[in-house]
Amino acid sequence: MYMKKITSIAALMLSSLILTAQDANTLVLRASYRFTGTPNLETPDRKIQAFFYLDVSTTGAYFYDPMRREGDSLYAADRTNGVPAEEIMGNLFKYKTKNAGFQAEYRFGQASMKILDNLGVYFGYEEKLPLYNWTLQPDTARVLGLLVQKATTRFRGRDFVAWYCPEISLPAGPWKLNGLPGLILKVYDAAQHYTYECAAIEKFTGRSVAMRKIIVTDIRSTTYPEFAKLRRMKAEDPAGFLNTVSPGVSFSPTNTGAGATFQGMKKFNPIELEDK
């Protein structure tokens, strides 16, 4: 077994303030990942896709959707500049709200990581590390022409296979997965419902590039179990979810027939199958 503890940067600010933060650490590497997922087993051919950056600095890592971060920045600027609420609602396309809102931040060698995820509103929670135990395997392969080695782990109901590159000796990777003796270039679950694969690597050797992050507005502090319950409720009981996250505002189906808008998903298949 190979275990390594990693954590986040400073505590996530849970307020309605709009802040732009610049990490003083020098950016060492940026890895770009293609993400493919199967969120509903009833329609397995209907995949979701996204594109993420993993920015690795001298002391930690930050995983995010660059398009969503750009949209959050535009939204924050409009809020700061007093743009009317009606205009903001009409600009949802500009804020790229359909892009992935997931972000993860951690410092190497520490005991927790910060997660930011979006269910229509942002939720922030902390994950204690290590979340999983890696088992190193002798198998090798190549990703982007680089020699990678295999490692496996079980995490929240799924068996994951990761391919890491010892040549890039950074204990980082996509999503919540990290802690191997090399950068994770590809990872998927045994059923191959979810895959992250590195598409490009940019190294910043010889030039100073600061890691930049956007701390978005109106983040609701929670725990993973509570977030997982809300995520499941949003998929299986959308009306109940809306009533929960927007207290005082009543939502109900406009059609109770077979084509009802709020029927929900019958085969909810999140990347984390367990809610604890």
Q: Is the residue at 67 inside a domain? A: yes
For 79-88, 136-145, 151-160, which range has the lowest pLDDT when averaged over its residues?
Answer: 79-88
Whether 249 is covered by a domain: the verdict is: no
- Quick check: 163 and 130 in contact, CB under 8 A? no
- The residue ranking higher by pLDDT, 9 or 177, is 177
Strands 122-128 and 220-221: parallel
**Can you give the pLDDT at residue 214?**
58
CB burial of residue 196 (10 Å; 0-12, 13-18, 19+): buried
Ranking 63-67, 78-82, 121-125, 178-182 by mean pLDDT, the lowest is 78-82
**pLDDT tens-place string over residues 103-123:** 999 999 999 999 999 888 889
Q: What separation in angstroms does the CA of 61 have from each of 116, 189, 237?
A: 14, 22, 35
In a domain, 128, yes or no: yes
Number of domains, the chain: 1
265 located within any domain: no
Q: Has residue 263 been placed in a domain?
A: no
- In this prediction, residue 81 carries a pLDDT of 72
In whole angstroms, give the CA distance from residue 241 to residue 231: 8
- In the chain, % of residues over pLDDT 90: 55
Please give the Cα distance from 62 to 55 (Å, whole number). 5
Give yes or no for a contact between 176 and 131, defined as CB atoms under 8 angstroms apart.
Answer: yes
Percentage of residues in the chain with pLDDT exceeding 70?
69
Provide the b/e sequence for 65-78 (b: ≥16 CB within 10 Å).
bebbbebbbebbeb
What confidence tens digit (pLDDT) does each residue in 2-57 have?
Answer: 433 222 222 222 222 222 334 446 889 999 999 999 999 999 999 999 999 999 98
Q: Give CA–CA dist 270/194, Å, rounded.
A: 9
Structure tokens given for 261: 């808008």
Which residue segment(s) compose the domain that 114 sits in? 6-215
The DSSP result for 143-202, as a single string, is: ETTEEEEEEEEEETTEEEEEEEETTS-----STT---SSSEEEEEEETT-SEEEEEEEEE
- Label residue 210 by pLDDT band (50, 70, 90): low
Answer whether 0.85 is exceeded by the pTM: no
CATH code at position 170? 2.50.20
- Structure tokens of 29? 């590497």
Note whether residue 176 is domain-resident.
yes
The DSSP call for residue 73 is H
Residue type, 167: E
* 235 assigned to some structural domain: no
DSSP 129: S
What are the pLDDT digits (tens) for 218-259?
789 999 999 999 999 999 898 888 888 877 655 555 444 444
Task: Quote the Cα angle for 53-119-184, to 5°.
Answer: 25
| Structural domain contains residue 29 | yes
- pLDDT of the residue at 14: 25
The whole-number pLDDT of residue 15 equals 24
